[in-house]
Amino acid sequence: MHKLLLKGGLVVDPAAGEIFPADILIEKGKIAAIGQDLEASEGTVIDVGGRLVSPGLIDMHVHFREPGFEAKETIATGSRAAARGGFTAVACMPNTDPVADNRAVISYIRARAEQAGLIKVYPVAALTRGSRGEELTEMADLKEAGAVAFSDDGRPVSSAAVMRRAMQYARMVGLPVISHCEEPTLSAGGVMHEGYMSTVLGLPGIPAAAEEIMVARDIILSEHTGCPLHIAHVSTAGSVRLIREAKARGVPVTAEVTPHHFTLTDRAVAGYNTSAKVNPPLRTEEDVAALKEALADGTIDVIATDHAPHTVEEKDVEFQLAPFGMVGLETAVGLVWTELVIPGVLSPVEAIRKLTVNPARILGLQDGVIRVGADADITIIDPGLTEVVDPSTFASKGRNSPFSGKKLQGLPVATIVRGRLVYDRGLLAVT
Amino acid sequence: MNWKRKDVLGLQNLSVEEIEIILDTAVSMKEVLGRTIKKVPALRGRTVVTLFYEPSTRTRTSFELAAKYLSADSVNLSASTSSVVKGETLKDTARTLAAMGADVVVLRHPMAGAPNLLAETIPAAVINAGDGTHEHPTQALLDMFTVREKLGKLAGLNVAIIGDILHSRVARSNIWGFTKMGARVRICGPATMIPASIETMGVEVCTGIEEALEGADVVMMLRIQLERQQQGLFPSLQEYTRLFGLNRQRLALARPGALVMHPGPINRGVEISPEVADGVNSVITEQVTNGVAVRMALLYLLGGGGIPVA
């Protein structure tokens, strides 16, 4: 079997909180050795040249649209986008058509990921049948089929009674519940954050309270049921306060933030820019500041993209008619570095922790570590490399990025999954 | 005259100078309207298309007459909202109209920002005739024209806008316009109909109508729609009238000779009592006449009319 030696890198160990110079020897898809001056008698040698060698990044919130919406994205194109963005694993949300609420769809997703053969795709199964918020899915069967969590992302469970039962049952099955927190009667009709910008643009707003009420409800239900709860895409300062307080009390709650929510505000919607239409909506400067603070103090555990590709035609319409969502896989690392690491909000190790071990721990995965015997899933990051975002270069089918033209620093240059180079920016010497 | 702008999409982005050019041009147009033969050849050979995705008799007729008085060829196109969702996209419709040679497209659309989308798609001039709850620039311009004509100025005036501010594109355009021209704007309405952070637009938010009317030079009443009651935004028309209706007693709080305005159509006895609507302070019918003059001015400026009016 092929051997791969990564020479001269700075290895990031997010679990131990260390960065140290070392070579990594990969054999049979696993990490065989970590140490100084390793030699390979055969196989390929990659000169990392002092760049960061991170455990493979995990994006625990993507929409790969297959089955059902292949014009937006497929598991193959989504996998390519993930690899290009430095991600070795993703968890894909179940709002496909049909909804991933049964073993057949979960198996199909896994088979398509296998065929694509690039990255690890972990399916998230629906919490309720058809994500209709009424009957529970066969959670034990779904877990056996390979589901790593349950969520009705995009169609949040409005009934507190159903949510309570679902969390009781998910806890028994032993998988976390991921909640897209949105109180539907408050958000109804809304297309952007409710505030000065929505007033000026004359667009119906989604108040911060629509998210916070559900964050509060689900925290209470998590405490009540003991079910691990992961709050998806936190967007408001009020949600941060609720999560911080719940964590202090010992409620089994974790949370994620997206790069767009810690980078942009509702001002990005000016000019009716449909690329900036996303749910939850882009909020205010105060919210962005609170999200950064929550990243720094550990209230927010995970950075996830909520990668949501749409076709150009779907977004090229009146703002109110455009679908919610933006692509995120291929700009995530650059935004984490540019917006968080370089300004000192997070250290490189802290940032990588929120992209590796933390999501792995929440989803119960063995990934996200560099350890002898572990899968050789590795992302090489060049913290000095810059580029201007150009959606036309994306591997994703989606072009719906609000970051077009933005200069980013700190980019993935190579992605290795189970010892195989699945993305190579062409900057490393390979012999 | 030094007009450069291709489109008029809202008052937010118009400069004071541009607003003055429009209002000054409208003065000449109003003079044309006073003639026995009210037709000038200014836009002969030009084509104006009114594209209305919302029913509107008064605005569409006003634009259509404005085009005819300037000798432009005008075509009306009414589309239902369902065709917006299901059929041809707005951009494709716009491209079709542009390809047929439209010089000016007047758009009324239920969705905010639709005119912006149109304007960036086609070379023709686009005039926003009301988009969702965003802007209604021609209404605000005719309101400013009316006030300037009656009171001789805009700067320093106290303007009270009363009613459903949340859903009012007229209120938004008037707030931008009047504040730009140096007037002080107060708004007042049910707490459920005051949009978030509107004070950042430079207005004072008043809780009671009396406070809003105190010393006002201009009182602008907005139409209240019954469907807002069904949406739970106010309990009853009776209570609405009791709290926010304009009557003679309340009008006495305003400056003597204050102008009473309404963009129409009026709910008599609801937001405004008949005696006030028909009273000496009311300029509601003159607003309609001035609407034609202001729309002529905009068509003339944007339609590239080379032939002098006078």
pLDDT at B78: 85
pLDDT at B307: 55
Q: What does pLDDT average to over chain A? A: 97
Q: From CA A136, how far away is CA A132, in angstroms rounded?
A: 10
Please count the other Cβ atoms lying within 10 Å of the Cβ belonging to residue A332. Answer: 26
HEC-encoded secondary structure of chain A: CCEEEEEEEEEEECCCCEEEEEEEEEECCEEEEEECCCCCCCCEEEECCCCEEEECEEEEEECCCCCCCCCCCCHHHHHHHHHHCCEEEEEECCCCCCCCCCHHHHHHHHHHHHHHCCCEEEEEECCEHHHCCCCECCHHHHHHHCCCEEECCCCCCCCHHHHHHHHHHHHHHCCCEEECCCCHHHHCCCCEECCHHHHHHCCCEECHHHHHHHHHHHHHHHHHHCCCEEECCCCCHHHHHHHHHHHHHCCCEEEEECHHHHHCCHHHHCCCCHHHCCCCCCCCHHHHHHHHHHHHHCCCCEECCCECCCCHHHHCCCHHHCCCCECCCCCHHHHHHHHHHCCCCCCHHHHHHCCCHHHHHHHCCCCCCCCCCCECCEEEEEEEEEEECCHHHCCCCCCCCCCCCCEEEEEEEEEEECCEEEEECCCCEEC
Q: What is the span of the domain harbouring residue A391?
A: 4-53+375-430
Q: Indicate whether A338 and A379 sit together in one domain.
A: no
- C-alpha A336 chain-centroid distance: 12
pLDDT of B89 higher than 90: no
Q: Indicate whether A147 and A162 sit together in one domain.
A: yes
Our separate counts of H helices and E strands in chain B read: 13, 9
Phi, psi of B116 (to 5 degrees): -60, -45
Partner-chain residue, chosen from B116, B117, B195, that has the shortest CB–CB distance to A199: B195
Domain count, chain A: 2
B window 236-295, beta carbon within 8 A of A: none
Q: What is the mean pLDDT of residues A73-99?
A: 98
For the segment B138-152, what is each residue's pLDDT rounded down to a tens digit?
A: 999 999 999 999 999
Q: Please tell me if residue B91 touches chain A, with a CB cutoff of 8 Å.
A: yes
Q: How far is CA B263 from CA A152, B204, B260, B295, in A?
A: 46, 21, 11, 15
Chain B residue numbers touching A205 (CB-CB < 8 A): 196
pLDDT of B309 higher than 80: no
For the segment B176-206, what is each residue's pLDDT rounded down to a tens digit?
A: 999 999 999 999 999 999 999 999 999 999 9
pLDDT of B305 higher than 70: no
Q: What is the mean pLDDT of residues A71-96?
A: 98
Does A17 fall in a domain? yes
Residues in chain B: 310
Does A263 fall in a domain? yes
Q: Indicate whether A185 and A173 sit together in one domain.
A: yes
Top pLDDT among B283 and A41 is at B283
Q: What is the mean pLDDT of residues A138-163?
A: 96
Q: Please tell me if residue B85 touches chain A, with a CB cutoff of 8 Å.
A: yes
Judge residue B242's burial from the number of C-beta atoms within 10 Å of its C-beta, 0-12 exposed, 13-18 middle, 19 or more buried.
Answer: exposed
CB contact under 8 A, B89 and A317: yes
pTM, full prediction:
0.95
CB contact under 8 A, B112 and A195: no
Top pLDDT among A267 and B305 is at A267
Residue A195 corresponds to which amino acid? G
Lowest mean pLDDT among A166-170, A304-308, A368-372, B93-97: B93-97
Q: Please tell me if residue B19 touches chain A, with a CB cutoff of 8 Å.
A: no
Domain end, chosen from A342, A363, A384, is at A363
pLDDT at B231: 87
Mutate to test the interface with B, among A266, A274, A316, A318 (most CBs of B within 10 A): A318
Please count the other Cβ atoms lying within 10 Å of the Cβ belonging to residue B272. Answer: 30
For the segment A298-349, what is each residue's pLDDT rounded down to a tens digit?
A: 999 999 999 999 999 999 999 999 999 999 999 999 999 999 999 999 999 9
pLDDT at B81: 54
pLDDT-above-70 percentage for chain A: 100
Partner residues linked to B185 by β-bridges? B159
Q: What is the mean pLDDT of residues B257-276?
A: 95
Q: Indicate whether A350 and A252 sit together in one domain.
A: yes
Partner-chain residue, chosen from B84, B90, B135, that has the shortest CB–CB distance to A202: B135
Residue A26 belongs to domain with CATH number: 2.30.40.10
pLDDT of B310 higher than 70: no
pLDDT at A277: 98
> Considering just the CA atoms, what is the radius of gyration of chain A in Å?
21
Copy the structure tokens of residue A325.
Answer: 């969502």
Does A369 fall in a domain? no
Residue A153 belongs to domain with CATH number: 3.20.20.140
pLDDT of B85 higher than 60: no
Top pLDDT among A43 and A258 is at A258
pLDDT of A2 higher than 90: no
Q: Indicate whether A309 and A247 sit together in one domain.
A: yes
Q: What is the mean pLDDT of residues B99-104?
A: 93
Q: Indicate whether A43 and A63 sit together in one domain.
A: no
Q: Indicate whether A147 and A266 sit together in one domain.
A: yes
pLDDT at B229: 86
Q: How far off is chain A from B6, nearest CA to CA, in Å?
A: 16
Say if residue B139 carries a ligand binding annotation: yes
Q: Indicate whether A60 and A47 sit together in one domain.
A: no
CB contact under 8 A, A196 and B200: yes
Could you give the domains of chain B? Answer: 7-135+289-303 (3.40.50.1370), 137-284 (3.40.50.1370)
pLDDT of A425 higher than 60: yes
pLDDT at B83: 55
CB contact under 8 A, B132 and A194: no
Partner-chain residue, chosen from A194, A313, A318, that has the shortest CB–CB distance to B196: A194
Q: Indicate whether A281 and A292 sit together in one domain.
A: yes
Q: Indicate whether A187 and A275 sit together in one domain.
A: yes
Q: What is the mean pLDDT of residues A188-194?
A: 97
For the segment A361-390, what is each residue's pLDDT rounded down to a tens digit?
A: 999 999 999 999 999 999 999 999 999 999
Q: What is the mean pLDDT of residues A349-357?
A: 98
Lowest mean pLDDT among A67-76, A83-92, B224-233: B224-233
B190 contacts B243 by C-beta, under 8 angstroms: yes
Chain B residue numbers touching A191 (CB-CB < 8 A): none
Does A370 fall in a domain? no
Q: Indicate whether A236 and A358 sit together in one domain.
A: yes
Confidence band (pLDDT; 50, 70, 90) for B55? confident
Q: Indicate whether A37 and A104 sit together in one domain.
A: no
pLDDT at A411: 98
